[in-house]
Amino acid sequence: MKVLVTGGAGYIGTHTLLELLGCGHDVLVVDNYSNSSPIALQRVRKLAGRDFESLQIDIRDTEQLTEAMLEFQPQAVIHFAGLKAVGESVEQPLRYYSNNVDGSISLLLAMDKAAGHNFIFSSSATVYGAPQYLPYDEKHPVKAVNPYGSSKLMVEEILGDWCKSAPGTAAISLRYFNPVGAHTSGEIGEDPQGIPNNLMPCIAQTAVGRLPQLKVFGSDYDKRDGTGERDYIHVMDLARAHVAALDYLEQCNSFDAINIGTGKGLTVLELVKTFEQSSQQVIPLELVERRAGDLVSVYADASKASRLLNWSAELDVDAMCRDTWRWQSQNPQGYSGE
Ligand code: NAD
Ligand code: UFG
């Protein structure tokens, strides 16, 4: 299949590109490199042993996008491009709505012009808000609690309406839980700019000496060891889920949302302990106050993905930690170290 990948130079995009290329798909990457580096794409080309085109385009530039689409004629679009920092979205809501919502509309307009009708969207478990029950299944009510989450929900609604408006269009929203890990080569991985927000990059940067210690946000939650629980999913499993969703699009002619997680919750301290074992590094840590807005527990009911996509997570937490460490220890400064 010919697949246009927006945000392909980013963390999840690069890993998915490798899976797509490995399965024989042809790709065109569109990225403005606002949170990534073209070096990441060079590494994907090297690992895949195949070349592909990449264009520096902001997805809000409908004209340029349309031109690229008319030329490439993709049979499907995978839409990763977006801003993703929750705290930043609270401080700069308009920037988030412009990038994530206007950007998605611009992409759909370009697809309409190029008669594209198959779409996969990067959504997030954050669309569920505080749990009314656990695990979250796709029927759980949705409620955004910050502009980032609102932007994801708005795009899901737009995709639903887009699918209703034209027969033959299909869109799948993959609601990711907590992606972590890296490709086993250690050549590509997560490379956050500035001080990371998420747990795994903080652990990895502490292990490599870029951060002095890990701050554990809250140790008095009503959980087995008092720390927050999440459903961590290996980024290569997540990448495979996109390939499975591409296959499923062929039989799907409407909008659908599907959780992508392992179904298992892990606490902060459990993840740190596994990382220490896999990396043979000690992670100095400090137990501090809870982080505002954090939930105690987040984990998926991933049975819909298994039923519809014939996909389930295969890689365990040891692999998540081992592969993160390989990437971080081989690239202590991320791609900017090259
Ligand atoms: P990332 O920042 O590494 O990748 C996003 C890519 O999109 C970057 O390469 C960036 O340069 C590009 N981009 C951003 N705005 C753009 C624009 N206007 N035009 C063109 N390119 C643009 O993030 P990621 O972790 O790979 O996440 C990919 C998607 O998955 C995002 O939409 C994110 O919201 C979603 N998601 C991520 C997580 C996570 O924890 N990583 C969880 C749930 C959902
Ligand atoms: N945590 C720490 N110390 C840190 C960072 C995080 O203790 O330095 C804890 C958090 O308090 C939480 C857990 O580690 O208990 C996971 O936190 P992350 O920031 O890694 O992930 P979140 O679950 O808070 O959020 C992530 C993405 C969101 C997305 C959400 C979906 O950042 O964009 O998953 O579930 F919406």
Quote the distance between the C-alpha of residue 264 and its chain's center.
Answer: 18
Question: Above pLDDT 90, what percent of the chain?
Answer: 95
128 secondary structure, DSSP code: G
Residue 167, pLDDT above cutoff 90 = no
pLDDT at 337 (0 to 100): 77
Q: Is there an atom of ligand 2 within 6 Å of 216 CB? A: yes
Supply the pTM of this predicted model: 0.98
Give me the pLDDT at residue 48, please.
Answer: 98
The beta strands (E) that lie in 252-312 are given as 255-260, 266-267, 285-288
> What pLDDT does residue 268 have?
98
Nearest-CA residue for atom 7 of ligand 2: 216
* Minimum CA distance residue for ligand 2 atom 36: 126
Helices (H) and strands (E) in the chain, counts: 12, 13
The average confidence (pLDDT) of the chain is 97
- 213 Cβ below 6 A of ligand 2: no
Query: 106 versus 194: which is more confidently predicted?
Result: 106
pLDDT of residue 61: 98
Q: Are 182 and 188 in contact (CB under 8 A)?
A: yes
Structural tokens at position 267:
């606490």
Pick the CATH number of 2-181+232-262 from 3.40.50.720, 1.10.357.10, 3.30.1360.10, 3.40.50.970: 3.40.50.720
Segments in 124-198 forming alpha helices (H): 147-165
Q: Has 299 been annotated as catalytic? A: no
Task: Give per-residue pLDDT as tens, 7-44.
Answer: 999 999 999 999 999 999 999 999 999 999 999 999 99
- Which of 136, 148, 221, 299 is catalytic? The answer is 148
Q: What is the mean pLDDT of residues 276-280?
A: 97
